[in-house]
Amino acid sequence: MLRTALLWASTNPFLARRLPRYAFVRRATRRFMPGETLDDALRAAEGLRGRGAPTTLTLLGENVATAAEADAVTDQYLGILEAVRGRGLDTEVSVKPTQLGLDLGLDAARRRLERMAEASGQAGLVWLDMESSAYVDRTLEMFRAVRQDHAGVGLCLQAYLRRTEGDLEDLLPLSPAIRLVKGAYREPPEVAFPRKKDVDRAFVRLAAVLLEARKAGRAGRVVLGTHDGRIVAEAGSLARELGLGPGHWEVAMLYGIRTGEQGRLLREGVPLRILISYGTAWFPWYMRRLAERPANVWFVLKQLPG
């Protein structure tokens, strides 16, 4: 119930305007994001580098309303790539299709992603996030178009969608870099598995498809974006059975979530990348993080002035 309410809140424009005005809500976000500026994010990336973890940066924002806004987002991402190169960081970027203006037109959004892929150079991959199910077809189209000429672009797929198994099979001939996640949006049961147990099973099944494809030379980077220790252990066992060493698959987690588990994986030599989100447009993203673990709401309430 609370999860559904939080996901509803994440798309509510009234709450998006009101809640960020409260200092206690802003204080609570610091647990999952280092700050609102690029400098905050780069400082966090440098700190994580010190602990042996490469990073991915995301500038928060989605569903931009004008082409000018989408162009400005693209320029900011180009700035991130330059800053990352300047500091010698192993840091990639991950962008939402609607932040590049997908609502306004696929071609222009694709061209913006192309500019980013061209600029990424040695800075590693540009990842395309996956948003709610209404965007999946257009996101796949955008990815396919850019992937033809730019190997430096990767795609996020969501295990909770019933369609993902088929989408992955269709994509494998491209040898794509895939980041597999469970999925963070409110979706109807005909589109996404409603039971967590089924989502977890789908994740393990899709991870197996990816690892086997990797073994057969049919997949690029295989990134498992999850904080689920049981799934990471299962994927690790399968990778070992297939004879795939740590260089063949990776885990990705979000900044500030299950930091103990992050430390453990790093100590054990599991390749782990941390995704750092920053920016001022954090409201919908933060609500999705609360929905993933409704107990987080108590943490927000604890920030209320005594």
Ligand X SMILES: Cc1cc2nc3c(=O)[nH]c(=O)nc-3n(C[C@H](O)[C@H](O)[C@H](O)COP(=O)(O)OP(=O)(O)OC[C@H]3O[C@@H](n4cnc5c(N)ncnc54)[C@H](O)[C@@H]3O)c2cc1C
- Which residues make up the interface to ligand X (CB under 6 A)? 129-130, 156, 158, 181-185, 225-228, 252-254, 257-258, 275, 289, 292-293, 296
For the CB of residue 177, give the shortest distance to ligand X in the complex, in Å: 13
Residue 157 C-beta: closest distance to ligand X, Å = 9
Answer yes or no: are the C-beta atoms of 101 and 72 closer than 8 Å.
Answer: no
State the catalytic residue, choosing from 179, 214, 273, 288. Answer: 179
Secondary structure of 15-38 in the HEC alphabet? HHHHHHHCHHHHHHHCCCCCCCCH
Distances 65 to 69, 71, 236 between C-alpha atoms, Å: 7, 11, 42
CB of 152 or CB of 154, closer to ligand X: 154
Q: How far is the CB of 291 from ligand X (least distance, A)?
A: 8
Q: Would you call 179 a catalytic residue per the annotation?
A: yes
8 vs 17, which CB is nearer to ligand X? 8
Which of residues 17 and 293 has its CB atom nearest to ligand X in the complex? Answer: 293
DSSP code for 224: E
Shortest separation between residue 81's beta carbon and ligand X, angstroms? 18
Q: Answer whether 80's CB lies under 8 Å from 120's CB.
A: no
CA dist., res. 250 & res. 263, Å (int): 15
The catalytically annotated residue of 129, 167, 200, 228 is: 129
Residue 224, beta-bridge partner list: 180, 251
Give the HSE-up count for residue 8: Cα atoms under 13 Å, Cβ half-sphere: 5
Contact call for residues 157 and 178 (beta carbons, < 8 A)? yes
Between 254 and 265, CB nearer to ligand X: 254
Active site residues: 129, 179
